């Protein structure tokens, strides 16, 4: 049996994988809440007991920097080692990969109806590709293309410095710098970033948080809900700033990677917000880079709406390693 997994700061998704005519089949899907488990091995033990089959191959996409097939996760207090998993569970081969690399592999398995086009641009078949995913953190990856063969590689670009593009964003940077001593892109473009922006706006306007905010258990989700419903002016402005900063960072990645194959937006935050925003507004900020505007206007931009893209990518890599 072959197992694929996707591990975020909040959940672990595990599936069994097999090759079928016309593609890859994911089955026996289970989702676990990370808060209920001390380490990944507790979840794996539960899942393997559930499926009652020996596993020969596993590939896990994980939010964090993978070095020598192990990782200490960035937004989760876990240390995961492929060698330890192989030894404990008798699995022949375990491959750990960055979650955005897994998403990049899954990208090539997606049908066209799982994408929403923001900008048609002028795509090049042998162009490099950029990938961003905003969720609990901000994941970034580049996909190098050589003669139409693609090679995804990991990046920790979400932890690079946040660069404000106007006076309001400069004020936001100063507010976060006073709080943290360093301001990462992830501090703005993520679930926690939404909360940070909202509190910055409250601070500058010197008003108290609304009653709905004080009662919220998931502040970022509630801010998003109120903004999309148009029920709170500060929440609406929060999402406006969030989307502008997301577009700016997407453009930064496009410039750094010369991504004439396109930029793809993924992640839980992205899907929740981007399906409701003005695509033209996003693209207006995306291309706003002075002398590089003509180049950025040619970059295709697409939104990924399939939540299983990372799982699909991990599955594809697991099947390839198994020769299936």
| Residues 300 and 116 sit within 8 Å (Cβ to Cβ) | no
Q: Is residue 205 part of a domain?
A: yes
Q: Is residue 168 part of a domain?
A: yes
Residues 167 and 243 in one domain: yes
Please report the DSSP string for 173-197 in residue order. Answer: HHHHHHHHSS-BGGGTSSHHHHHHH
| Residues 311 and 114 sit within 8 Å (Cβ to Cβ) | no
- The Cβ-side half-sphere exposure at 159, using a 13 Å CA radius, reads 8
Lowest mean pLDDT, pick from 72-76, 107-111, 159-163, 297-301: 72-76
> Using CA atoms, how far apart are residues 251 and 166, in angstroms rounded to an integer?
16
Residues 12 and 161 in one domain: no
Residue 208's CB is within 10 A of a number of other CB atoms, namely 8
Residues 316 and 295 in one domain: no
CATH code of the domain containing 279: 3.40.367.20
> Using CA atoms, how far apart are residues 76 and 232, in angstroms rounded to an integer?
32
Q: Directed axis angle between helix 99-107 and helix 309-322, to 10°?
A: 80
Residues 79 and 201 in one domain: no
pLDDT band, residue 324 (cuts 50/70/90):
low
Residues 95 and 115 in one domain: no
Question: What is the pLDDT of the chain when averaged over all its residues?
Answer: 93
Q: Is residue 105 part of a domain?
A: no
Number of domains the chain contains:
2
Sequence-ordered list of residues with C-beta below 8 angstroms from that of 241, at least 6 positions apart, any chain: 168, 169, 172, 188, 197, 201
Residues 25 and 153 in one domain: no
Residues 135 and 74 in one domain: no
Residues 249 and 282 in one domain: yes
Residues 298 and 312 in one domain: no
Strands 262-266 and 129-134: parallel
| Residues 278 and 149 sit within 8 Å (Cβ to Cβ) | no
Q: Is residue 146 part of a domain?
A: yes
> What percent of the chain lies above the pLDDT cut of 90?
79
Is this structure's pTM higher than 0.85? yes
Most distant pair of Cα atoms in the chain: their distance: 61
- Residue 158, pLDDT > 90, answer yes
Residues 186 and 265 in one domain: yes
Q: What confidence score (pLDDT) does residue 207 get?
A: 83
Domain span at 266: 111-305
Residues 131 and 273 in one domain: yes
Q: Is residue 104 part of a domain?
A: no
Residues 199 and 226 in one domain: yes
For residue 154, give Cα distances in angstroms to 70, 78, 83, 94, 284. Answer: 14, 19, 21, 18, 28
Q: Is residue 263 part of a domain?
A: yes
CATH code of the domain containing 45: 3.30.420.40
């Amino acid at each position: 049996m072959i197992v694929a997994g996707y591990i975020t700061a909040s959940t672990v998704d595990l599936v069994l994988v097999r090759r079928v005519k016309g593609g890859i089949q994911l089955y026996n899907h289970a989702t676990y809440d990370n808060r209920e488990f001390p380490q990944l091995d507790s979840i794996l033990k539960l899942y393997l007991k559930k499926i009652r089959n020996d596993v020969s191959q596993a590939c896990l996409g994980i939010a964090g920097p993978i070095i020598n097939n192990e990782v200490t996760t960035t937004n989760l207090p876990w240390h995961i080692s492929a060698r330890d998993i192989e030894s404990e569970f008798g699995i022949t081969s375990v491959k750990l990969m960055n979650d955005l690399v897994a998403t990049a592999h899954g990208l090539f398995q997606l049908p066209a109806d799982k994408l929403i086009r923001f900008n048609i641009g002028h795509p090049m078949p042998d162009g490099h590709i950029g990938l961003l995913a905003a969720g609990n953190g901000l994941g970034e990856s580049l996909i190098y293309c050589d003669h139409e063969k693609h090679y995804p590689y990991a990046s920790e670009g979400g932890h690079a410095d946040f660069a404000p593009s106007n006076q309001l964003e400069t004020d936001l940077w100063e507010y976060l710098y006073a709080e943290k001593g360093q301001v990462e892109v992830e501090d703005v473009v993520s679930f926690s970033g939404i909360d940070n922006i909202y509190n910055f706006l409250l601070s500058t306007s010197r008003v108290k948080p609304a009653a709905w905010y004080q009662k919220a258990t998931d502040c970022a989700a509630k801010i998003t809900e109120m903004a999309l419903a148009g029920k709170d002016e500060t929440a609406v402005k929060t999402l406006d700033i969030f989307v502008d900063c997301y577009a700016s960072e997407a453009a930064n990645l496009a410039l750094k990677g010369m991504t004439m194959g396109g930029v793809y937006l993924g992640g839980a935050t992205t899907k929740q917000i981007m399906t409701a925003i003005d695509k033209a507004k996003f693209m207006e900020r995306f291309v706003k880079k002075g002398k590089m505007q003509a180049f950025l206007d040619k970059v295709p931009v697409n939104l990924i709406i399939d939540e299983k893209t990372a799982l699909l990518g991990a599955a594809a890599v697991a099947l390839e390693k198994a020769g299936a």
